[in-house]
Chains A and B, each alone.
Chain A
Amino acid sequence: MKAKLNRETVVRSKLLWAVIAELLILLVGFIMRPDFLSVQLMTLADGSRVLFGTPIDILNRSAEITIIAMGMTLVIALGGTDLSVGALVAVSGAMALKFLRWDVLEYPTPGDYTVMPYFLVILVPLAVCTLMGAFNGLLISKLGMQPIIATLILMVAGRGIAQITTNGKQFTTMYTPFQQIAQGYFLKLPMPIIITAVVILGVALFTRKTSYGMFVESVGVNPNASRVSGLQSSRIILIAFMITGFLSGISGLIYSSRISSCDSNNAGINNEMNAILAVVIGGTSMSGGKFSLTGTVIGSLIIQTIVTLVYFFGVVSEAIMAFEAMIIAVVIVLQSEPVRKFFASRKRSRASATGGAVRA
């Protein structure tokens, strides 16, 4: 136990700030509105009983960002960024709705039907997004482009592709299986929470049960040493971007299911920013290295909790960004190098005053 603490000191201390921030925000919410933390069972129209309450709502609403942020964590741990995720969300939604409705002229009214087989509705968007992720990954690993520039291409072009898929129209659907993705319940919980849990578990297993996570961290910390030790960084980078693309696709399906429609203009807007913030608040450094999936989940929750809390005060939704910005600014300043060094040096001077360092 002691060893574990020692090993991840830096990540943990950043994580600690994030957890404290989340708890403080929750506390503020609780003081302002005592029902902020309450969860109750509620009976739905069809007689099933489901959980209901602000915490459930926070988890539900944070699903899109959390899912993307899982992939973004890997990309950032490698020292990169992916700006295209928001655009991929739009592509995924547009593709799904295109397959559900195919041609609005032939199927003029939305209804409980799908034109193309349902499995295509799900699989094609995911495949396309994974391929787009692979495109990003290849530009970066094979052509050696900076991640910010390489992913900027799809960030700009992606929404165009989404619009063209649906010919610029906003399709709506009433197809029940599709609506269930975001609006259904499973185990008394909203479906997005379940999907998010599965994604978190999947990414955690993939990174920690195989050696992929270690390879990502190794390349992120020291690409030179990793190369000499036989790691193939181009393959590792490619996989990280493909995962991020795939997860953006899932996030896009959830979003379009939530609104039963595709909205290429607004789907996934600022998702890239929020996902990156979630990762950074969660303690993974933008310069790459050790990553913490738990931290990312907490980071994403912080963002969504602030949003929910500020809603409670009746602040208009867009103004939430100002509060978000302030809290994020505080967290980032606390995590910044000079500030951490300052705290560390104070700690060290106390330690050396009491005993002095022991040389191994």
Chain B
Amino acid sequence: MCLSNDVLLKMTGMEIEFPGVKALDGVDFTLRRGEIHALLGENGAGKSTLIKCLTGVHRMDAGSIVLDGQSIRLTSPQDAQRLGISTVYQEVNLCPNLTVAENIFIGRQPMRRGGIDWKTINARSSELMRRMGMDIDVTLPLSGYSIAVQQMVSIARAVDINAKVLILDEPTSSLDDNEVRRLFDVMRELKKQGMGIIFITHFLNQVFEVCDRITVLRNGHLVNEWGITDISRLDLVTSMIGKDMNEIYNLKKAEQRGDAPVVLAASGLGVPGKVESISLDVREGELVGFAGLLGSGRTETAEMLFCVQRPARGSVSMRGKPVGARIPLDSIKRRMAFCPEDRKRDGIVADLSIRENIVLAVQATRGFMKPMSMAEQQELADKYIRLLSIATPDAEKKVGELSGGNQQKVILARWMATQPDLLILDEPTRGIDVGAKAEIQRLMLDMCRQGMSIIFISSELDEIIRCSNRIIVMRDLQKAAELDGEGCDQSAILSIIADEETGREAV
């Protein structure tokens, strides 16, 4: 492979700090002309923060950006665009109500005789899209097209702006095989023209198929940069997931009796395009870990179990009785509980107090006409504040003012208060500090010992291996393997995650 060494963009010593978290800590990144450079890392690794520095959304605290030999300062997305840095986001940032053609040309429409020259716009857009292998009617509104087409329109816009640097932030997560191939053709074409492309993805086979170079971030730090031929798939996964270098607390797995009754039984759960058919059983007092990369379908499975997202097919039963849930409340009434992955969006109610957040789910099952008395509420809140050692002066503090780890504990408390038989935890330890992480792990194990069943989803293999009785490995929207928690080691799981010889099936 011939790699040009003509540096196009160089970011050095990038640092950015959010309240309580150092999101980027001295990260360097170099992009050369005519290369496709993969930027990899799990959630919270700092990829998107780095990209946002480059697109002018975040102001960095320290570091420098040099583009084409010139030091640049970015204060707004417009700045970045003017300098030739274009971004295609995972969530398409276009206007759904405008036509395809207009989305490509808005803000820089060609004019003729004092008015917008629609003919030229439509003709040129049509031509652009055709060159990208898409023969579509560009005069129809964007909202009528699939995400794949919208993604291509974003790229067409970026390309037509004459970008020097093109950032593709997880563009493939909603594309099928054919569409991905088409996208890669376009990327290679752009590469030939000398554009530098930063490609963010969670699909490793795609990385090896199209990229020239890889940079891996973890927890806001740079891990390393490799040429594509210099690293094996397994090493790459290991470098992304990493070992939990923190002090490993002396945790003891809960013992699992083989004759324990089945608490949760799910069969054939699925939603087209999100998860293929999934079946699993969880026994009393068992801790089942879900491993897999982001986007492998682990969160979607959890959401279907709890009916946050209604499964299109399949059934769930608790202790032998079908749940038949239509809304999450039905699942709660069957003694299920769910700590969602996105704490801010689906978990905390930021403006309410700790007490109110803790009693919320219990109160929801009772209905609002049977309120718990203030004394009961306070008692419950105080109990869990003590039990989970939530760091707060009192129960009336707003949850939004707590640190991430304490917010997580509040959500945990909300669900423990409902005394569930099954607790589903989606990334409960993400983005919280080491101490809180260990505490939450220990809590999970304690709860299991008391007979609660837990489904535990995490990106960090270490903690999954350390805590789980049984491990389910997810890959490509399906269950790839089920392993016994005892004597299971990291490399076994890594090789299952990394192994993609079957390729990704069309959705």
Do the two chains touch directly in the complex (Cβ atoms below 8 Å apart)? yes
A residues neighboring B (CB under 8 Å): 3-4, 6-7, 9-10, 209-212, 214-215, 217-218, 221-222, 224-232, 236, 289-290, 359-360
Contact A211/B371 with A230-B361, A232-B327 known, Cβ cut-off 8 Å: yes
B residues neighboring A (CB under 8 Å): 20, 306, 308, 327-329, 332, 338, 340, 345-353, 356, 360-361, 363-366, 368-369, 371-372, 391-394, 396-398, 402-403, 406, 414
Q: Is there contact, CB below 8 Å, between A221 and B349? A: yes
Q: Is there contact, CB below 8 Å, between A230 and B394? A: no
Contact A360/B348 with A211-B368, A227-B328 known, Cβ cut-off 8 Å: no
Q: Is there contact, CB below 8 Å, between A289 and B351? A: yes
Q: Is there contact, CB below 8 Å, between A225 and B346? A: yes
**Nearest CB to that of B363 among chain A residues?**
A211
Contact partner, A6, options B348, B365, B397, Cβ 8 Å = B397
Q: Is there contact, CB below 8 Å, between B414 and A229? A: yes
**Residues in A whose Cβ lies below 8 Å from that of B398:** 6-7, 9
Q: Is there contact, CB below 8 Å, between B349 and A222? A: yes
Q: Is there contact, CB below 8 Å, between B396 and A230? A: no
Q: Is there contact, CB below 8 Å, between B365 and A218? A: no
Q: A205 CB to closest chain B CB, in angstroms?
A: 11
Contact partner, A229, options B364, B391, B392, Cβ 8 Å = B364
Q: Is there contact, CB below 8 Å, between A224 and B345? A: yes
Q: Is there contact, CB below 8 Å, between B368 and A212? A: yes
**Residues in B whose Cβ lies below 8 Å from that of A210:** 368-369, 371
**Residues in A whose Cβ lies below 8 Å from that of B397:** 3, 6-7
**Residues in A whose Cβ lies below 8 Å from that of B391:** 360
Distance, CA A205 to CA B396, complexed state (A): 20
Q: Is there contact, CB below 8 Å, between B351 and A214? A: no
Distance, CA A290 to CA B398, complexed state (A): 11
Q: Is there contact, CB below 8 Å, between B348 and A225? A: yes
**Residues in B whose Cβ lies below 8 Å from that of A359:** 20, 403
Q: Is there contact, CB below 8 Å, between B406 and A214? A: no
Contact A290/B351 with A228-B338, A230-B364, A230-B365 known, Cβ cut-off 8 Å: yes
Q: B326 CB to closest chain A CB, in angstroms?
A: 11
Q: Is there contact, CB below 8 Å, between B332 and A230? A: yes
**Residues in A whose Cβ lies below 8 Å from that of B329:** 230-232
**Nearest CB to that of A7 among chain B residues?**
B396
Q: B299 CB to closest chain A CB, in angstroms?
A: 13
**Residues in B whose Cβ lies below 8 Å from that of A221:** 349-352
Contact partner, B360, options A3, A214, A290, Cβ 8 Å = A214
**Residues in A whose Cβ lies below 8 Å from that of B371:** 209-211
**Residues in A whose Cβ lies below 8 Å from that of B328:** 227-230
Q: A225-B345, A226-B349, A230-B329 are in contact. List 4 more A-B contacts (CB 8 A).
A: A217-B349, A218-B356, A222-B345, A360-B402
**Residues in A whose Cβ lies below 8 Å from that of B396:** 3-4, 6-7
Q: Is there contact, CB below 8 Å, between B353 and A7? A: yes
Q: A289 CB to closest chain B CB, in angstroms?
A: 5
A sample of 7 cross-chain residue pairs with beta-carbon separation below 8 angstroms, ordered by A number, consists of A3-B393, A211-B371, A212-B368, A221-B349, A224-B345, A230-B327, A232-B327
Q: Is there contact, CB below 8 Å, between A218 and B349? A: yes
Q: Is there contact, CB below 8 Å, between A231 and B348? A: no
**Nearest CB to that of B329 among chain A residues?**
A230
Distance, CA A218 to CA B414, complexed state (A): 14
**Residues in A whose Cβ lies below 8 Å from that of B392:** 360
Distance, CA A21 to CA B114, complexed state (A): 52
**Nearest CB to that of A290 among chain B residues?**
B351
**Residues in A whose Cβ lies below 8 Å from that of B393:** 3
**Nearest CB to that of A224 among chain B residues?**
B346
Q: B65 CB to closest chain A CB, in angstroms?
A: 27
**Residues in B whose Cβ lies below 8 Å from that of A3:** 393-394, 396-397
**Residues in A whose Cβ lies below 8 Å from that of B361:** 229-230
State the 8 A-B residue pairs at the shortest beta-carbon distance, nearest first: A230-B364, A230-B329, A211-B368, A3-B396, A360-B391, A211-B371, A230-B332, A212-B368
Q: Is there contact, CB below 8 Å, between A231 and B406? A: no
Q: Is there contact, CB below 8 Å, between A228 and B308? A: yes
Contact A360/B406 with A3-B393, A4-B396 known, Cβ cut-off 8 Å: yes
Contact A231/B403 with A218-B349, A222-B349, A224-B346 known, Cβ cut-off 8 Å: no
Q: Is there contact, CB below 8 Å, between B360 and A218? A: yes
Distance, CA A359 to CA B371, complexed state (A): 34
Distance, CA A210 to CA B371, complexed state (A): 5
Q: B61 CB to closest chain A CB, in angstroms?
A: 16
Q: B50 CB to closest chain A CB, in angstroms?
A: 25
Q: Is there contact, CB below 8 Å, between A231 and B360? A: yes
Distance, CA A289 to CA B349, complexed state (A): 10
Q: A6 CB to closest chain B CB, in angstroms?
A: 6
Q: B420 CB to closest chain A CB, in angstroms?
A: 12
Residue of B20, B351, B365 with most partner-chain A CB within 10 A: B351
**Residues in B whose Cβ lies below 8 Å from that of A9:** 398
**Residues in B whose Cβ lies below 8 Å from that of A229:** 328, 332, 349, 360-361, 364, 414
**Residues in B whose Cβ lies below 8 Å from that of A4:** 396
Q: B327 CB to closest chain A CB, in angstroms?
A: 7
Distance, CA A212 to CA B366, complexed state (A): 12
Q: A232 CB to closest chain B CB, in angstroms?
A: 6
**Residues in A whose Cβ lies below 8 Å from that of B402:** 360
**Residues in B whose Cβ lies below 8 Å from that of A225:** 340, 345-349
